[in-house]
């Protein structure tokens, strides 16, 4: 008997997930994307894995640019994640993505000035896993800007992501 799609969605939504913005860049094109599929995969070297939808702008930019940042946000300021659920608009004159100030990380990928902590990663592997690709990046730079703030997680919002494909995603 096949598993019920709604049950799969409800169960996978219970997986505790961090919520962060992924910065990506290829040439002069930059993007920021909300993600909840983030995990550390190794200690030597320090590797971070992120799952990115194969149809996303961020997927193309990471594939071409070979780098990404993971920007952790204060749990008390989760409204930012809605603004980055679709491709972002970069303003070169202001140095902003969707109006949020960014600067270049060591790899050239964008780091958000408001991030409470961030990691900058060079892609070491990419694995197409169906609807998403697991990008594995080696951490080449990192910082903590607010060590007392609690990083946002999916449970801090009404957002749901995972399970089986639904309308619109």
Report yes or no on 57 lying in a domain.
yes
Place of tokens 């800007």: 145
Determine the pLDDT at residue 138.
98
Count of domains forming the chain: 1
Tell me if the pTM is above 0.75: yes
Q: Give 168's pLDDT tier (boundaries 50, 70, 90).
A: very low
> The tokens of 71 are what?
């920007």
> The tokens of 153 are what?
């997680």
Q: What is the CATH number of the domain that holds 32?
A: 2.30.110.10
- The rounded distance, in Å, linking the Cα atoms of 94 and 149 is 27
The fraction of the chain above a pLDDT of 90, given in percent, is 80
Which residues of the chain form beta strands (DSSP E)? 20-26, 29-35, 38-43, 46-53, 67-72, 90-91, 96-97, 100-104, 110-112, 117-128, 132-144
HSE-CB at 153 with a 13 A cutoff on CA atoms is 9
Instruction: For the chain, report the end-to-end CA distance as a whole number of angstroms.
Output: 25
Report yes or no on 6 lying in a domain.
no
Q: Mean pLDDT over all residues of the chain?
A: 93
Q: Is the pLDDT of residue 18 over 70?
A: yes
Determine the pLDDT at residue 20.
97
Report yes or no on 7 lying in a domain.
no
Domain ranges, residue 82: 17-156
Bridge-based pairing of strands 90-91 and 29-35 is: unpaired
Report yes or no on 3 lying in a domain.
no
Report yes or no on 86 lying in a domain.
yes
Q: Give 91's pLDDT tier (boundaries 50, 70, 90).
A: very high
- The rounded distance, in Å, linking the Cα atoms of 98 and 32 is 8
Report yes or no on 87 lying in a domain.
yes
Report yes or no on 10 lying in a domain.
no
Report yes or no on 91 lying in a domain.
yes
């Amino acid at each position: 008997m096949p598993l019920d799609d709604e049950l799969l969605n409800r169960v996978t939504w219970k997986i505790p997930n961090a919520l962060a913005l992924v910065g990506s860049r290829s040439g002069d094109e930059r993007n920021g994307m909300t993600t909840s599929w983030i995990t550390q995969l190794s200690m030597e070297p320090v590797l971070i894995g992120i799952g990115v939808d194969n149809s996303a702008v961020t997927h193309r930019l990471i594939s071409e640019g070979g780098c990404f940042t993971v920007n952790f946000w204060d749990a008390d300021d989760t409204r930012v994640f809605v603004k980055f659920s679709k491709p972002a608009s970069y303003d070169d004159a202001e140095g902003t993505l969707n109006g949020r100030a960014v600067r270049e990380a060591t790899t050239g990928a964008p780091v958000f000035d408001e991030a409470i902590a961030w990691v900058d990663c060079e892609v070491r592997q990419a694995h197409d896993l169906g609807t998403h690709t697991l990008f594995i990046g080696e951490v080449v730079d990192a910082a903590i800007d607010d060590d007392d703030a609690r990083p946002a997680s999916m449970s801090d919002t009404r957002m749901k992501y995972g399970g089986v494909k639904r309308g619109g995603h």
